[in-house]
Amino acid sequence: MLKKLSEKIGFTQTEIKVTILLLVIFAVGFSYKNFFRDNELISYKKFDYTKEDSIFFSSGSEKDSAESIQPEGDKDNILELNKKNINKFPAKIIAAEKSIDLNKAGIDMLTTLPNVGKKTAERIVELRIKLGGFKNFNELLKVKNIGDKRLAKIKKYAYIK
């Protein structure tokens, strides 16, 4: 019988057996849910939490109450993100592509390179003076905290003349 069915459907005999097994399991589960399960288990009772709430609030001190969890002051002072404080931190200006000559740029110009802060810019200038100017980008690998990944980002915005 399975052989004839497998020829008509195009399934192998194993696939047909698995499909029949899944259908039987589905039918058993469906019939159990709808016919044999106690309907009282399905209905949910509303639970009154007032007793538990009173125990919770009475067990702690006043400092533990929900009112004391609220932060003091207004939101702007808590987050320190009001307009006055945001303006204290200027946005970093990023250089345009291939716009900085590493042999002529000062510390301020070098800090516009990605992932280059003031200290790294100072180190770049020191190495440039020591070498008498850069001949290729790989010389930047001698600068502390400049590795291959950072050098790849710097190459996008700088050039050597």
Q: How many domains does the chain have?
A: 2
Report pLDDT for 122. 92
> Among residues 72, 91, 112, which one ends one of the domains?
72
Cα 106-108-113 angle, rounded to 5 deg: 95
- Does 81 reside within a domain? no
* Residue 151 domain flag: yes
User: For the domain that residue 106 is a member of, what is the CATH number?
Assistant: 1.10.150.320
What was the pLDDT predicted at 92?
57
> CA 21 from chain center: how many Å?
43
Under 8 Å between Cβ of 146 and 120: yes
Examine the domain organization and report whether 104 and 55 are in the same domain: no
Q: What angle, 0 to 180 degrees and rounded to 10, lies between the N-to-C axes of helices 2-9 and 13-31?
A: 100
Whether 135 is in a domain gets the answer: yes
- On whether the CB atoms of residues 154 and 140 are closer than 8 A, the answer is yes
Q: 54 and 1, same structural domain?
A: yes
Q: Is residue 32 part of a domain?
A: yes
Question: In this structure, are 105 and 66 located in the same domain?
Answer: no
Asked if residue 116 belongs to a domain, the reply is yes
Q: In Å, how far are 34, 72, 150 from 100, measured between CA atoms?
A: 75, 49, 16
Are 152 and 104 part of one and the same domain?
A: yes
Q: Which residue bears the tokens 């000062």? A: 106
Identify whether the C-beta of residue 137 lies closer than 8 Å to the C-beta of residue 155: yes
Could you list the residue range(s) of the whole structural domain that residue 35 is in?
1-72
How does pLDDT run along the chain (161 residues), one tens digit per residue? Answer: 778 877 788 888 899 899 999 999 999 998 888 877 665 555 556 667 777 777 777 766 555 444 545 555 555 555 555 555 556 656 556 666 667 888 888 988 888 888 888 999 999 999 999 999 988 888 888 888 888 888 888 888 888 88
Q: What is the C-alpha to C-alpha distance for residues 36 and 30, in angstroms, rounded to an integer? A: 10
Residues 9 and 68 in one domain: yes
**46 plus 10 within the same structural domain:** yes
Maximal C-alpha separation, the chain: 90
84 within some domain: no
Does residue 93 belong to any structural domain of this protein?
Answer: no
Arithmetic mean of pLDDT over the chain: 77
| Statement to judge: residues 8 and 46 lie in one domain | yes
Q: In the prediction, which pLDDT does 96 show?
A: 63
Please indicate, yes or no, if residue 95 is contained in any of the structural domains: no
- In 3D space, the residue among 42, 35, 5 whose CA is nearest the CA of residue 20 turns out to be 5
140, with CB counted inside 10 A (0-12, 13-18, 19+), is buried
